[in-house]
Structure 1
Amino acid sequence: MTDTATTGATMDADLIVIGGGPAGCAAAVMAAGVGMRSVLVESEDALCRVLERIPVVGNVLGFSAGPALAAAIRADVADRDLCRVELGLRVVRIDAHEDRVEVTTEPAKSTGSGPLPPGPAPLTAPYAVVATGVGPLRPQDVGWIEGGRGLEAPPLWEADPAALAGRTVLVLGADRPLGTYLRAHPGLESRFVVACPPGDAYKAEEIADDPRVELVPVRRLTLVPPSSGATTSPGTPVAAQAPIAAQAPVTARAPVTARAPVTAEVLTVEGDRRTLTGDRVFRNLGSGPVAPGGGLFADASGYCPPSRQHPRVFTAGDLRSARFQRIATAMGSGSEAALGAYYASRGLPTRIGAGGDDG
């Protein structure tokens, strides 16, 4: 396939797709369906790694478990001869020009103790779909949590249910993974004390009737540092907090147990002061956009709306907005982004309602 508006530079493909989650994979499959050659770039060692840690999905047609959906998506991508998959490469920069898009990558992981080796030559194509998604927020990333220096609060999805049985779990934030976790473990007899800001109230509606949950809307929460004599149990992982990452990898290490008890002083939305305690503590604070550097245009929240991008760059999936972050909408937006690139290559309008609806 040849872009009618592009001449000169040698292209690696008709379309570069950045991000190997549901949105990026849907874009690659759709591109193949309209005859476009694509390069799908993913920083992990496999596509759709995040889906592997979602045991129950209730809003995707035809699937009820994340691992099965991930396997099906990988198989679909592998069946497309027009799609070349590049794993283990992190995109660090996107440059959109009048006639092409250049994508600069580097190895996602170091193979030794030294610095990362230089990445391959930039990838070049007439168009790009960017679907790098979001990464989990940390306590220091939100304005309503203070203190906690030296206290590890792993993401809730890492929690080992066996270690939580019969325990009180302090959860920081009421983002939707809490509902996913509770549905995945309906027989887990634990008490979940969930501290969250007022803005999370609508997210907590789906777990409001679960008797295991106590929801505590707060204006501010201060984590009390562990006492000087407190220690973690043997085998408990203690890792430095990493920057937000687009896809948290599934690793071979044991599930996190966050064994150290924790205390938090809170100011509730009613103005009362309370002390919350838990045998375990996990963060469930939502996510923030993960976008490569270069030519993407972001709004005040850091997300990258499709309408603000260069004509040769299409954003898809969770990167578009803090809203509409679902697996099904990600796949739909990825497919739409690929079609946008296809229509643009034919000199046709790329927005719905802009004229022309003949496929």
Structure 2
Amino acid sequence: MVTIAIDAMGGDNAPAAVVNGVNLAIHAFEDIQVKLFGDEAQIREHLKVQERVEVIHTTEIIEAEDEPVIAVRRKKDSSMVRAARAVKEGEADVLLSAGSTGALLASGLLVVGRIKNIDRPGLMPVIPTISKEHPQFILMDAGANADSKPINLLQHAILASYYAREVLEIKSPRVGLINNGTEAGKGNDLSKAAYELLSQEESINFIGNIEAKELLNGSVDVAVTDGFTGNAILKTLEGTSKSVFKAIKGALTSGGMKTKLGALMIKDALADLKDNFDDTKAGGAVMLGVKGAVIKAHGSSNEEAIFNAIRQARKVTNSGVINQTISFFED
């Protein structure tokens, strides 16, 4: 049985979307149980299931404007911190929240705890591509560390490779270092030093530098970079995909009769394409490098996105990937 500790009060649509996602997941997965942390009255207003769900009342909420570290240290009865403590104390396998990213990262570090010998954990989303053969890739780090050292990129590559093998079931995940050129000597001091470390690491399948323009082609399974660059790439991909689909819709619906008839003919194909690029179907971004599974769902998550994040939490736990990374770095 997989036990998932969920911050019911985190996210733009909490607690309704969070609890409704739990309602769906309890019906779909017989091998999970959920601990919902938050305002009990608000949670029960939306909770439609009773079996395998425990509601733990909390009195505080970490808000988006709170300073993350201070909030985690002071708001000890917040829904996020209480959920993190459940993972720390072995009462749950996974921490899931759609709340403040900074506070969740701080909860992972300060409450759940960093794996020994890991310098800095990283945040890892799974992003869809246009490739049928390689339909997704991991972006690591996507915002946990704005300033990174070469050792961070090496450790993040190892962590993400474990996830790709055990959770995404990619036998030998291809690791690429995001750079401004594919040549080995390209990049700034961080890129050059990281390249040397990555090329010498036998536990990963490092294929060299990759330019950001190739990411959606399925050229790599793991794309490694510093958190500042990774977060900028993530936001750019999210914004671009939304803008492109909006532009296509506008062009098809604002034209003449022929254009509108054509729009009707390709409507289903476009819907399928848009569905393929829906990153919420992959779940949330996983914080790797801590002694437990920590998953960050998008702040605007609806019930379907929460359901997919719970499905991901279940798969991560069953894969045993967290224990494998602990063994690799602590042995």
Give TM-score scaled by structure 1 length. 0.29
Structure number with the higher strand fraction is 1
